[in-house]
Amino acid sequence: MDGNFMSDQWVEIGRADQIPTRGARLVRIAGKQIGVFKTAGGEVFALDNQCPHKKGPLTEGIVHDTGVTCPLHNWVIDLQSGKARGADEGCVRTYRIDNRDGRLFLSLAE
């Protein structure tokens, strides 16, 4: 499937219940590695799966409130804004994601 999506399309990537609560899954679309995160409250977010620090895979981090702690050096990335919290500076790209009755759709549009 990889690589066949138009950048302005919504892509169905799976179901919300396939993502562990306070956890994440990786999805590969159009050559991108995108992390899909689910918070304790069931909210779902999508971000490039690369920590702005040294490209740590954010999907392997610990998810808490609406943030994820990177597994490599503990930066905390805000899932809503993609920005590093606290004194760290850096930002990852976020993607729009839509939860339609448990089915997840992701948009590559800017």
Tell me which of another protein, ligand FES, none is bound by residue 99, counting a contact when its beta carbon lies within the kind-specific cut-off of 5 to 8 angstroms.
Answer: none
Contact partner, 105, from another protein, ligand FES, none, Cβ < 5-8 Å per class: another protein
| Closer to ligand FES by Cβ: residue 14 or 57 | 57
Task: Looking at residues 33 to 92 of the shown chain, list those that interact with ligand FES (rule: CB under 6 A).
Answer: 51, 53-56, 70, 72-75
Q: Which residues pair with 74 in a beta bridge?
A: none
Q: How many residues does the chain have?
A: 110
* Residues near ligand FES (CB under 6 A), total: 10
Q: Which residues contact 66 (CB under 8 A, 6 or more apart)?
A: 39, 43, 45, 78, 79, 80
Alpha carbon distances (Å) from 10 to 23, 26, 66, 103:
23, 17, 23, 12
Q: Which does 3 bind (CB under 5 to 8 A by kind): ligand FES, another protein, none?
A: none
